[in-house]
């Protein structure tokens, strides 16, 4: 155990799922006697939770580790811990490459950090803790949330079993494993008592929830249970898989008073032979049919997707087809990334690899088209009244407030710039949209219209 003056800091890289992991690592540091700080220069222990999904994330992680190692050599930091997917991916190589690191913790040992630190205090000098990822957090897992008090991520499953040819997640996170419906609801109830208004359900594939337990209706049961939870205003379903989208699921979302009409469905591409090479299934006609059905059941549905350019064998004709697809569908939000030939994946060994400069050019072209699509969509909102979740002072000026519509997920989808009116952080208030930008909108709060159960515009 450590003395009361010992401070610890946690640095998180990567996705929202990593953020939840860090929020379960932080309480274990407190359990070992540390007090948490955001000031890295004062911390005697620094833990960096890394991403290892893509080579670019690996490079970012190594750069951040080296910066922290330099801080250790000239500051008060005694112990530097590297955790997460980067450790799970490279294991022993990191121990040799980074001798200045005191402890490496794979995704397999996240819930054992406190025990490992206590073993170190008793003289155990083992530096690398890694194995097959099988752990699964529960409602009883201590968690110290680092996001705003009004919004929270709720991880409903861990790992992935989809085996896409370009992806290392199954190796980094293990096979897909779901929590029980009852356990997720218990955590959601606790979040509600803490003042959370927005719950964002996350997993590598949220539509796979319960399938590993033999319960194909588990997600429906969960959404129906959460829909009746007092205090929660918005429920968001992130990272859904197109082949598992059902009419029944769409109808549950459409009929709910709390599930926002927003879906993040990473399609990756639209050309059949590329989808087949990715082991994603489906084709352009099938995807169009699915999207048409989704919008027929939920007319005001806001769609986010992720697309990959430069997958091996993608021709200029394929890319132009993808471009036409994006123009025709008009996604509300779109992320684009270049194919990365990750070592150990099947796709990295495929012939007809696309040159890096071509991949980057295609990415820029797609994003430029999406920018004009986004502005066109947002312009349609001008003059309408929508509920806005007030997030606080605008990050660029203290003179304005900032918020989000239900159609905007935290951190990735733009914001509402509130140009008139006042409101309390974490509340949902009615606002009239007055102006559209590329990804943000401006709005004025309407006095006397505050409420916590709004979803739709008018």
Domain with CATH 2.40.50.140 in the chain: 385-445
Structure tokens at 397: 């000026």
Pairing of strands 259-264, 234-237: parallel
Domain with CATH 3.40.50.12160 in the chain: 7-129
CATH fold for the domain made of 147-265: Transcription Regulator spoIIAA (3.30.750)
d(CA 82, CA 408): 32
> Position of tokens 């949902």?
428
Q: Residue 393's beta-bridge partner residues?
A: 401
3-state SS, residue 237: strand
Angle between the 316-329 and 284-297 helix axes, to the nearest 10 degrees?
Answer: 10
Domain with CATH 3.30.750.210 in the chain: 147-265
d(CA 62, CA 55): 11
Domain with CATH 3.80.30.20 in the chain: 270-280+290-338+350-379
Pick the CATH number of 270-280+290-338+350-379 from 3.40.50.2000, 3.40.718.10, 1.10.150.120, 3.80.30.20: 3.80.30.20
Instruction: Enumerate helices (H) and strands (E) in the chain, giving the number of each.
Output: 13, 19
Please name the helix (run of DSSP H) or strand (run of DSSP E) that holds residue 157, with its range, or none. strand 157-158
Q: What share of the chain is helix, strand, coil (3-state, %, to 5)?
A: 40, 20, 40
pLDDT for residue 5: 66
Q: Residue 336's beta-bridge partner residues?
A: 307
Structure tokens at 401: 């407030």
CATH number for the domain running over 7-129: 3.40.50.12160
Please name the helix (run of DSSP H) or strand (run of DSSP E) that holds residue 434, with its range, or none. strand 428-436
Do 442 and 412 touch, CB atoms closer than 8 A? no
pLDDT for residue 197: 94
Would you write out the chain's pLDDT as a tens digit for each of its 458 residues? 555 469 999 999 988 889 999 999 999 999 999 999 999 989 999 999 999 888 888 889 999 999 899 888 887 889 999 999 999 999 999 999 999 999 999 999 999 999 999 999 999 999 999 999 999 999 999 999 987 789 999 999 999 998 899 999 999 999 999 999 999 999 999 999 999 999 999 999 999 999 999 999 999 999 999 999 999 999 999 999 998 899 999 999 999 999 999 999 999 999 999 999 999 865 565 888 899 999 999 999 999 999 999 999 999 999 999 999 999 999 999 999 999 999 989 999 999 999 999 999 999 999 999 999 999 999 999 999 999 999 988 888 778 899 999 999 998 999 999 999 988 899 999 999 999 999 999 999 997 544 444 566 55
d(CA 4, CA 345): 46
Pairing of strands 385-393, 35-36: unpaired
Buried b (16+ CB within 10 A) or exposed e, 167-197: bbbbbbbbebbbbbbebbbebbbebbeeebb
357 Cβ neighbours under 8 A, 6+ residues apart = none
Structure tokens at 350: 């495929």
Burial class (CB in 10 A: 0-12, 13-18, 19+), 49: buried
Do 253 and 298 touch, CB atoms closer than 8 A? yes
pLDDT for residue 452: 44
Query: φ, ψ for residue 409 (rounded to 5)?
Result: -75, 155
Pairing of strands 79-84, 45-50: parallel
Domain boundaries 385-445, CATH class: mainly beta
106 Cβ neighbours under 8 A, 6+ residues apart = 83, 84, 87, 88, 91, 128, 129, 130, 131, 133
Structure tokens at 428: 């949902």
d(CA 123, CA 51): 29
Q: What angle do CA 92, 95, 98 make, to 5 degrees?
A: 140
Question: What is the 3-class SS of 404-440, one letter each residue?
Answer: EECCCCCCCCCCEEEEECCCCCCCEEEEEEEEECCCC
Do 32 and 64 touch, CB atoms closer than 8 A? no
Secondary structure letter of residue 198 according to DSSP: E
């Amino acid at each position: 155990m450590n003395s009361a003056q010992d401070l610890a800091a946690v640095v998180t890289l990567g996705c929202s799922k990593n953020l939840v992991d860090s929020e379960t690592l932080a309480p274990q540091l407190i359990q070992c006697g540390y007090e948490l700080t955001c000031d890295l220069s004062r911390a005697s222990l620094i833990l960096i939770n890394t991403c290892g999904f893509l080579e670019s994330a690996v490079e970012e992680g190594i750069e951040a580790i080296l910066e922290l190692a330099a801080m250790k050599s000239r500051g008060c930091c005694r112990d530097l811990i590297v955790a997460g997917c980067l450790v799970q991916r490279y294991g022993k190589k990191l121990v040799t490459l980074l001798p200045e690191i005191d402890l490496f913790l794979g995704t397999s040992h996240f819930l054992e950090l406190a025990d490992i630190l206590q073993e170190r205090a008793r003289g155990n000098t083992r530096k690398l803790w890694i194995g097959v990822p099988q752990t699964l957090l529960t409602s009883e897992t201590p968690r110290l949330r680092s996001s705003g008090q009004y919004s929270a991520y709720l991880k409903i499953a861990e790992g992935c079993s989809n085996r896409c040819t370009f992806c290392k997640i199954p190796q980094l996170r293990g096979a897909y494993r779901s929590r029980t419906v009852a356990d997720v609801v218990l955590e959601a109830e606790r979040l509600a008592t803490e003042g959370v208004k927005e719950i964002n359900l996350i997993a590598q594939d949220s539509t796979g929830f319960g399938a590993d337990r033999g319960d194909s209706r588990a997600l429906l049961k969960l959404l129906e249970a959460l829909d009746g939870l007092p205090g929660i205003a918005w429920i968001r379903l992130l990272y859904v898989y197109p082949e598992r989208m059902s009419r029944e699921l769409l109808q549950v979302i459409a009929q709910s008073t709390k599930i926002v009409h927003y879906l993040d469905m990473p399609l990756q591409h639209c050309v059949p032979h590329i989808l087949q090479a990715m082991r994603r299934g489906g084709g352009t006609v099938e995807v169009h049919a699915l999207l048409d059905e989704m919008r027929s059941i939920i007319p005001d549905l806001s769609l986010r997707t992720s697309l990959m350019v430069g997958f091996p064998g993608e021709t200029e004709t394929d890319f132009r087809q993808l471009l036409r697809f994006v123009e025709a569908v008009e996604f509300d939000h779109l992320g684009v990334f270049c194919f990365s030939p990750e070592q150990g994946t099947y796709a990295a060994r495929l012939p007809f690899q696309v040159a890096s400069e071509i991949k980057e050019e295609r990415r820029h072209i797609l994003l430029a088209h999406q920018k004009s699509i986004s502005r066109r969509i947002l312009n349609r909102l001008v003059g309408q009244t929508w509920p806005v979740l007030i997030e606080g002072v605008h990050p660029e000026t203290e003179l304005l407030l900032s918020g989000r519509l239900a159609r905007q997920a935290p951190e990735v989808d733009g914001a509402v710039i509130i140009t008139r009116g006042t409101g309390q952080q974490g509340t949902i208030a009615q606002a009239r949209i007055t102006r559209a930008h590329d990804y943000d909108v401006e709005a004025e709060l309407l006095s006397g219209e505050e409420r916590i159960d709004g979803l739709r515009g008018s």
